[in-house]
Structures are given as C-alpha cells and as structure tokens.
Amino acid sequence: MSRVEQGFLIAGIAGLVCCAVGISLDARPVLGAWLAAVIFALSLPLGALTILMVHGLTGGRWGEAIRQPLRILAATLPLALILLLPVLIRLDLIFPWAGADSAMLAEKVREKLVYLNVPFFLLRFVVCAAIWLALAWMMLSSTEEHLAKSGDGRKYALGLILHAFAISVFSIDWMLSLEPEFTSTVYALCEASAEVVGACATAVIVLAARRAVEILPGGEEDVALSEDLANMLLGFLLIWIYLVFMQWLVVWGGDLPDEIHWYVIRSGNGWQYLLYLLIALQVAASAGLLSRDLKRSHAGLIRLAGIALAGHFADMFWRVRPPLFSGGILSLWHDVAAWIGLGGLWLALFFFLLRRPDRIAWWKREAAHG
C-alpha cells in the first residue's frame, strides 16, 4: 500500500475505535450516524452500476472516458455492503417498527407490519445484495466490447430492471421505514437519480484530475470531451431536481399530514441550514454546467463536479440523518467518528484500486486462463 492509502487506513481504524467507544456508551446515536455514512458510501457504487449499464445500452464517448473510474467505484460495493452489518445486528435501535410492541405503534404502521418485520427485512436485504453483487461481477468481469462480441448486450437491459427493483426495495427498507408513517411512490426514483449524480460527479473528478479532458475530442465536431461529461452530469442533476421538486409539490399541495411531517422534521432544529446549503450547491452546479466556458475549463469542470458531489452528500445526510439524530450540536461527534472510520476504509480501498486497476480486471485473467 502507498503512504496515502496507509494514512487513510490508519484514519479509518482510529475512527472505528472511536465508534466502538461510542457504542459502549450509547449504541443508538452511533449506529444512526454510521447508517447515514454507509448509505452515502453505498450510493456511489450503485450509481456507478446504473451509469455503466445505461452506457452499455446507449454507447457514447462520454461513457468510455469515465468507464474506468466507474468500474473502480463499483468495485467498492462489497465493502459498503459489509459495513451495513453493525446496523443489521441491532435493527431495533434504528427502525421504530423492529422489535417494538405493535400495540404501541400507530395504526398506519401496524398495517405495514406484514412487510416491515425483521425476518422479511433480512431476506430482502440478502436478495438485494445478491443482485448487486451479481451485477457488479458482470460489469467488472467483462468490458463493453467483450459483451458486444458475445451478443450479450441484453444483459444490460435485464440488469437495469433488476437494479431498479433492488434500489426500490432498499430505499423503502433502509430509508423510508425510518419513519414508517411516511409514504412516497417516487422516493426510489429520487434515490436512484441522486446515486447517479454522485457517481458521475466522482468519476468526472477522478478522470479530470488525471487527464486534460478539455482538450480531448468529444462526440461531435468542435466539442470537447469535458463538455460532453459536463452535459451528462447536468442531465443527471436536472432529473434529480425534477423528481425531488415533484415529490415536494405533491406532498405539500396535497396537504398530506404524515408526509408533510417528513419535511417538517428536516426544516427545523438547524436542519433547515443544511437544506439551504443543499439547494445552493445544486443550483450553483446546475447554473455553472450551463456555461460553455466553465465546461471547457479544466479547473472549472473539477469545481463544478465537486460542487455537485458536495450537494449529493448534503442531500443524503439531510434525508437520512434527522430522524436518527438526538441531542445538540455536540452530538455530531458521532458523525465525525463514523465518517472518519468509514471514509478512511473506503478511501484506502478506492485509492488502492485506482492505483492497481488490474485488481478488478477479472475478465483479463479469465481470458488468459481460457
């Protein structure tokens, strides 16, 4: 391992030690902070899988350019799934329906207990994890050219269907059921679009940090590759903005008490400032991605992708953390410990794979043995 990777690994271990100390004192706030961090870490490989499969169906130079960073993101999927295990062990501390006396739950929640019960929850998680691991193996073990020559391009279409199913189930189980009174038929789409924004922004940053994409040719004449990448990121971002806005409009316009309460929790006690920051970041990213000068600028592209990634982070934290947060600002030390611990482990793996991409090129070894 390089010194950078060793540094991240040491930081991750230190963060894990702090989390262990926190769990020994009070497990619930630490696990709440840990869940928010893990869902963000999981969103990046899931978004990468979506983009890889979409590009397999549509083609385009933009996807070929960021294919390697996306493959590296997808390769971190097993680690993110493993990091969910601490929460799986104590579901009762996180989800109000797990292990609770059904008589104490609201009638609307009791009606959902056929679906929201621990054995069925664990079974669904195993199914989702199996689907994602199978899709990751498919995307990492074969290049686009290899699949095309084998006539297996249909795998992308089937993979997207299974992926959409798994994201829908996971979003309902791990995010919506934190507040089981809340119901949203578009939440899974919001989550999927947010994952794509985060993965695309990360891949663009990694690629632009290593290559001068602003001087490479794009898909059309007089168009730079950086413009194509920025336009794709803008498209993904606008889809997310549209879905999130429509969810808010339907809930608020329909005057739905349980659904409005979901927004009320996230609009007070200091969370409104995170919401303002989230809106500011995504509006700034969207406006900047409309500027051709910024899209043709190396520094400009990296900054815009960084702003979009920061907005994705704020979005995930704002959606997941408030119902699990208790205490004042000093309680944020749980989040600091969780993000250092998880972030250190994830970044150590990511930079290791970035430096040694041959570690995920399984198809080459299989071809050599064949």
Q: What are phi and psi of 218, to 5 degrees?
A: -95, -160
Q: Which two structure tokens, joined as six digits, stand for 315?
A: 């979005």
**What's the rounded Cα separation, in Å, for the pair 293 and 353?**
33
According to the model, what pLDDT value does residue 152 have? 59
Between CA 314 and CA 40 the distance in angstroms is 10
**What DSSP letter does each residue of 52-120 carry, written as one string?**
HHHHHHH--HHHHHSHHHHHHHHHTHHHHHHTTHHHHHTGGGT-TTTT--GGGS-HHHHTTTTTS-HHH
pLDDT tens string, the chain, 370 residues long: the values are 788 899 999 999 999 999 999 999 889 999 999 999 999 999 999 999 999 999 888 877 788 888 899 999 999 999 999 999 999 999 999 999 987 777 777 888 888 888 999 999 999 999 999 999 999 998 887 654 554 444 457 788 999 999 999 999 999 999 999 999 888 889 999 999 999 999 999 999 999 988 888 777 776 777 788 888 999 999 999 999 999 999 888 888 877 777 888 898 999 888 999 999 999 999 999 999 999 889 888 889 999 999 999 999 999 999 999 999 887 787 889 999 999 999 999 999 999 998 887 767 544 444 444 4
CB neighbourhood size of 212 (10 A): 11
Q: Determine contact, residues 164/30, Cβ cutoff 8 Å.
A: no
Q: Which residue(s) pair with 224 in the sheet?
A: 217
113-118 contacts at long range (C-beta below 8 A, 24 or more positions apart):
116/177, 116/180, 118/91
pLDDT at 269: 86
**Span between the terminal Cα atoms of the chain, in Å:** 30
Give this prediction's pTM: 0.91
The residue to which tokens 């490989």 are assigned = 45
Residues 362, 239: Cα–Cα separation, whole Å: 34
